[in-house]
Amino acid sequence: MVLSDILLSTVLKTEIRSQLVEQQKCLEQQTDMRVQLLQDLQDFFRKKAEIESEYSRNLEKLAERFMAKTRSTKDHQQYKKDQNLLSPVNCWYLLLNQVRRESKDHATLSDLYLNNVITRFTHVSEDNMRLLKKVRSNTGQLLSQIVCMAVVLFYVNSAFIVCRIQCSGGLFIGS
């Protein structure tokens, strides 16, 4: 019975160890996929921020070019006098001012992507890696504790069965 106990104990240890190793591999794969996804999101928003920034600059140039063109005209002097009237010149200035506001909005959006969104993705990615490292270190410690407890439980169960057999006079009656 001692040899079979040792053999069973070894099989039990191996089975527990292999299950924990498999679970750890799955966790590592999931973490790698998450980190890669976060990296892709960072790249996406970095590129989107560049596009928004470029678009903002182009809108500003557009508004400035036409604003400079209209400042030199006689209608500009009239615009300053009659700002409350809805004339074609006033509509034109409203349009140019709207383009300027839109330019500022896109610049702000670009800044948010670069300074907030991408930074947050970086923090989440770092947190994922930090958690994976903790899991790895804890898994090693817990594995040895679980295996020890399983072996102890196995031997206690074996001792219980032996005592039960001895107490029943050699007859083993199922539970």
**Residues 112-139: pLDDT tens digits?**
999 999 999 999 999 999 999 998 888 8
Q: Where are the chain's structural domains?
A: 2-165
pTM of the model: 0.70
Predicted local confidence at residue 115, as pLDDT: 96
Predicted local confidence at residue 3, as pLDDT: 59
Rounded mean pLDDT of 27-45?
A: 96
**Listed residue (35, 26, 34, 30) closest to 139, CA to CA:** 26
pLDDT, greater one: 71 or 134: 134
